[in-house]
Structure 1
Amino acid sequence: MIKMSWALAGEHADAWIGADVQEGAAVLAARVGDVIEASGMTAEAIQHRRETFLAPVVNALSTDGQSALSQGGTWSKAAGPMLVSVSPTVAQRDQ
């Protein structure tokens, strides 16, 4: 099991616990995408946030994050106003 936490500076913070990094990446993309869409920004600003901040973090989670977690480590990445951190849950570390 892994725990993923994220924050969008001044806007939103959330967390998710699950077994699979790829599922976590999909959850992150969907939940942060929903916040971005509901922000009231222009279409251009929404697209910019998705392409410049969200997509690179989701992609890195699927690759670098997966690698770090498979070795028992943690992973975090910041992009603009967004910070994501992923770690094995305490139960997994104790096994």
Structure 2
Amino acid sequence: MMRVRYVGVDMPLLLTNEFIYECINIEEESWLRVIDDEEEDYCYMINCPCDAFDQENKNGKWQIVEDEDDKLYEAFRLAKEPIYYYNEKTGEIKKVD
């Protein structure tokens, strides 16, 4: 299972700040297929999940919560995106260099 945490501006019916989402696939190395707030699977960019919806607020980021076989880690690395892990139990955020 792969799960990610979205951190950024709320996008009603799509993504909610600090909410954890199931990632069902990685598409073309730079897109995450996520089950969003509408309970539909939709592709979001790894390096800028808000970009297509909110041109002014491009500060949305993903944090890895659960990573099956390091697939998310590798996709983030290939997208040249900083890698953060979020520990659900402690709330700790760890940056990987």
Q: Would the TM-score normalized by the shorter structure come out above 0.5?
A: no
Structure showing greater radius of gyration is 1
Higher strand share: 2
Using the size of structure 2 for normalisation, the TM-score is 0.30
TM-score with structure 1 setting the length: 0.30
